[in-house]
Amino acid sequence: MAPQHVVIDDRFRIHGGARLVGEVFVGGAKNSVLKLMAASLLAVGKTTIANVPAIADVEIMSDLLRRLGCTVTHEGALLTIEVPQVPMHRADYDLVRKMRASINVLGPLVARIGRAEVALPGGDAIGSRGLDFHIKGLESLGATAHVEHGYVIAEAPQGLTGAPISLDFPSVGATENLMTAAVLAQGVTTIENAAREPDLVDLGEFLIAMGAQIEGLGSPVITITGVKKLSPTHHVTVSDRIIAGTWAFAAAMTQGDITIHGARADHMEVMLEKLTSAGAIVTSTADGVRVKMEQRPTAVDVATLPYPGFATDLLPFIIAMNSIAEGDSLVTENVFESRFMFVNELSRLGAQVHVDGHHASIHGITQLSGAPVEATDIRAGAGLVLAALVAEGVTTVDGAFHVDRGYPKFAEQLRALGADVTRE
């Protein structure tokens, strides 16, 4: 019998031992641009979004918008979205399963055309992120919403009506969906315990540029006064604080010196404080941040929290750094219950990490050792690549497509800083 050809995803091959030195440029935030793209559905006509990162998720969201009847063109870092008078209302599973942010078309579609059917989303394997807040919030605004045959179906044939909404947890996705629904609702909506992330503020500013009336962005209470109609706009995406954080940890772990252009220090205060505690020298530059480390890092304790706390997306990096740091540390995850799946792979490199519930206790060792490992999500993949940089010998990281979803040209950027990283 002829051998069957199995298609295997790319993997990274890393030779450990490099000290990363040089400059990187951080573009627009993945966690912002995907939501901006979804929110473009709120206005008929041509919206343009600049500073768009070249990542796989942007292509998936572009395909989803095309499926809904939009024309999407992408030239360099500029995205143009032409929204029809009446978009389609169904977001199918084949696209939605690839990316969690697909659920963000729910609010705009219900607000614009009174109906949305969105498949229950997929994306990263980091724990259950239930849609209860989204559904309860839309019901508060007068929609009927339920899950049927794997789809969230929401209807508001008479339009939405403003209402007070209080979230049990400051969920970013729910705050975004409810904000994009409420901008076209009749009357006033208040969202209490709202998320405060810079990406959410960016979305709010985009909506205001379209003609929405929103107050309280970046605070726990957002007030939205509905308007009859929004207009298309032009918007520049906020820079990606998680990618900036990744490079900051890369400098700290490899005892390197990286200038991160486009980084916003005011969006990363807690993280930069933790790096300073670990021994890094952090300085502001004209357009970013410089992170330099001259000795082995000192272990630091951290607990992830919604913004302005330490971001859950940075958890793999601080665990990887602590695994080769001087001393013992405790890292607590308060946002996603499965974020620690990453630890099993890190342990294959020799890291001494013990997980108990949502706590990880880490005993720092002087050096990891190379081994084959596998990425389970975007940040885990990038975290394993950074760990491989401080491991003796060769490490392969399978599942490069996860990293592609969040990091443009990751291997090329690492090589430019002096790392021995290839893709195969």
C-alpha angle 124-107-154 in degrees, rounded to nearest 5: 95
CATH code of the domain in which 83 resides: 3.65.10.10
Of 212, 236, 260, the residue that ends a domain is 236
The β-bridge partners of 118 are 91, 152
User: What's the pLDDT at 125?
Assistant: 46
Burial degree of 287 (CB within 10 A; 0-12, 13-18, 19+) = middle
Q: Is residue 362 part of a domain?
A: yes
CA dist 312 → 144, 173, 339, 361, 408 (Å): 32, 14, 8, 16, 20
Residues 329 and 367 in one domain: yes
User: What's the pLDDT at 130?
Assistant: 65
User: What's the pLDDT at 6?
Assistant: 42
Q: Which of 57, 124, 202, 240 is catalytic?
A: 124
In contact, 97 and 122? CB cutoff 8 Å? yes
SS3 253: helix
CA dist 87 → 29, 69, 135, 213 (Å): 26, 5, 21, 23
Number of domains in the chain: 2
Q: Is residue 379 part of a domain?
A: yes
Query: Alpha helices, DSSP H only, in 149-219?
Result: 172-182, 198-209
Q: Is residue 212 part of a domain?
A: yes
Residues 117 and 195 in one domain: yes
Report the distance separating Cα 7 and Cα 27, nearest Å: 31
Q: Is residue 403 part of a domain?
A: yes
User: What's the pLDDT at 122?
Assistant: 56
Q: Are strands 90-91 and 115-119 parallel, antiparallel or unpaired?
A: parallel
Contacts of 182 (CB under 8 A, 6+ apart): 111, 141, 160, 162, 189, 191, 224, 226
Tokens standing for residue 72 = 């999407």
User: What's the pLDDT at 119?
Assistant: 87
Q: Which pTM was predicted? A: 0.93
Residues 104 and 231 in one domain: yes
Q: Would you tell me how many other CB atoms lie within 10 Å of the CB of residue 121?
A: 22
CA dist 60 → 65, 145, 205, 350 (Å): 9, 25, 24, 36
Report the distance separating Cα 323 and Cα 364, nearest Å: 4
Report the distance separating Cα 410 and Cα 306, nearest Å: 26
Residues 23 and 36 in one domain: no
In contact, 336 and 312? CB cutoff 8 Å? yes
- Concerning whether 124 is annotated as a catalytic residue, the answer is yes
Of 187, 209, 236, the residue that ends a domain is 236
Residues 293 and 163 in one domain: no
CA dist 378 → 5, 202, 320 (Å): 27, 22, 15
Residues 270 and 387 in one domain: yes
User: What's the pLDDT at 29?
Assistant: 97
Q: Is residue 6 part of a domain?
A: no
Q: Are strands 21-25 and 257-261 parallel, antiparallel or unpaired?
A: parallel
Q: Is residue 247 part of a domain?
A: yes
Of 218, 236, 254, the residue that ends a domain is 236
Q: Is residue 276 part of a domain?
A: yes
Tokens standing for residue 260 = 């991160």
In contact, 17 and 205? CB cutoff 8 Å? no
Q: Is residue 218 part of a domain?
A: yes
Residues 285 and 222 in one domain: no
Residues 349 and 396 in one domain: yes
Residues 383 and 264 in one domain: yes
Q: Would you tell me how many other CB atoms lie within 10 Å of the CB of residue 161?
A: 17
User: What's the pLDDT at 74?
Assistant: 95
Residues 21 and 46 in one domain: no
Residues 249 and 231 in one domain: no
Residues of the chain with pLDDT under 50: 1-7, 124-129
Residues 174 and 272 in one domain: no
In contact, 77 and 149? CB cutoff 8 Å? no
SS3 229: coil
Domain that holds residue 154: 30-236
User: What's the pLDDT at 1?
Assistant: 44
